[in-house]
Amino acid sequence: MIAALAASVLSPFFFEATPEVRSSYVSLGKLVEDRPMQITNIRAGYDAGALGRFGIRNWDVSSLTDRRADAHRHEFYHYELGLTWQHSLEIAEGWRMKSDLTRSWTLYRGFENSMSNRTYHWWQIDQSLENPYVVPFYRFRKCFRGNDYVYFKVGARRRFAVWESLSITPSVYAEGGSSRHYRRAVGERVDGGRWHSGVSSVSFRLEAEWAFCENCAAFLFVEQYEVVGQAARHASAASPYRCAHSDWTLGGIGLRLRF
């Protein structure tokens, strides 16, 4: 009742929020933090119908422990602000091409004695071919100003309905990018050579979602992260970065709110 009323009041505007807690934090193909993190993703804007949805986004990450307080503070790990455009193109019955274009700025604050204490900006496009079978998807990001690299993510997922309100979605995806991104993700080569662009990691994810009302759903997931390639695994093992691991299992819980 309350959710339906909120949706009718907001229309044609929209608001989405996804607060979640993860046991650790993988970002752009790199295991950035092996401590618990809280993440909130918020979008709001105007639904222009056939022209798509225009909006703004905020993504913030916070640590939940004081471990490694010598490197970064307890509060915000980082946050992102940006403009978004989303569009859904009907191809055939049950088949849609979903597109999400983002122009964002990432702000790192609270990092002591680190070049990470800065701001950079990026463009990103996400697309997926929604259908009743296996959904292929990809993400492409170009970062600028001090973090100049290309990142990509490509994978597939399949949703299985268990009951009317409960579903399970297994997915697999590979992440990688340019040589600069490769070095960022796994560290310097042990043999002193240079990285080439390509896939640096593969992840397997299993998610369960319970839609307990029209506009709200709870979810939990478990994910296995793997650095791929012998040279990359050697580099990860030799990296001085405190969270460098070639294999890692993580999980999380959260809510999806859409109005």
What is the pLDDT at residue 79?
86
Number of structural domains the chain divides into: 1
Range of the domain at 99: 2-258
What is the pLDDT at residue 4?
52
Nearest Cα to 252, choosing from 208, 202, 195, 198?
A: 208
The alpha carbon dihedral of 228, 230, 231, 235 has a sign of positive
What is the pLDDT at residue 10?
65
CATH number at residue 245: 2.40.160.40
Q: Could you list the pLDDT tens digit for every one of the 259 residues in the chain?
A: 555 555 555 679 999 999 999 999 999 999 988 889 999 999 999 999 999 999 999 999 988 876 655 555 555 578 899 999 999 999 999 999 999 999 999 887 655 555 556 778 999 999 999 999 999 999 999 998 767 899 999 999 999 999 989 999 999 999 999 999 999 899 999 988 889 999 999 999 999 999 999 899 999 999 999 999 999 999 999 988 888 899 999 999 999 999 9
What is the pLDDT at residue 6?
54
Tokens of 171: 């997915």
What is the pLDDT at residue 63?
84
What is the pLDDT at residue 241?
83
